[in-house]
């Protein structure tokens, strides 16, 4: 639910840009689902026993991805609540950070689940 709501908040923020593809129902739904999948895969990462004491790339990707996606959602909610109107460039940067964060979460989940098999 956290990932879906973060995706929905960022989609609502991006939807205020007036760019037609970002305001479509399909784009909002896709961002919500992508956020839910990213948080599901990226948060629940089994530890890797062979990497005890060293940095696990999957955990690192998960942490960075969660941070970026959550900060982007937080900023989006703030802008929506205060009815801010940032420049289009900043709105796109926020959307890109969210997309990068969720993608890193999905990569982290894929790495962790691939090595568990």
Q: pLDDT, tens digit, for every residue of 38-89?
A: 988 888 776 666 666 677 788 889 899 999 999 999 999 999 999 888 898 9
96 band by pLDDT with thresholds 50, 70 and 90: very high
Per the structure, the complete domain to which residue 52 belongs is given by 2-116
Q: How many domains does the chain have?
A: 1
Residues with Cβ within 8 Å of residue 25, at least 6 apart in sequence: none
What is the per-residue pLDDT for 71? Answer: 95
Say what the pTM is.
Answer: 0.86
Place of tokens 């890109």: 96
Distance CA 68, CA 7 (A): 12
* Average pLDDT along the chain: 87
């Amino acid at each position: 639910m956290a990932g879906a709501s973060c995706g929905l908040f960022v989609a609502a923020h991006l939807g205020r840009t007036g760019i037609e593809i970002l305001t479509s129902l399909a784009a909002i739904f896709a961002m919500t689902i992508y956020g839910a999948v990213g948080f599901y895969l990226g948060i629940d990462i089994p530890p890797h026993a062979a990497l005890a004491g060293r940095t696990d790339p999957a955990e690192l990707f998960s942490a960075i991805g969660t941070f970026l996606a959550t900060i982007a959602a937080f900023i989006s909610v703030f802008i929506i609540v205060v009815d801010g109107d940032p420049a289009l460039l900043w709105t796109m940067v926020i959307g890109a950070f969210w997309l990068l964060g969720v993608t890193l979460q999905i990569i982290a989940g894929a790495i962790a689940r691939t090595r568990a098999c």
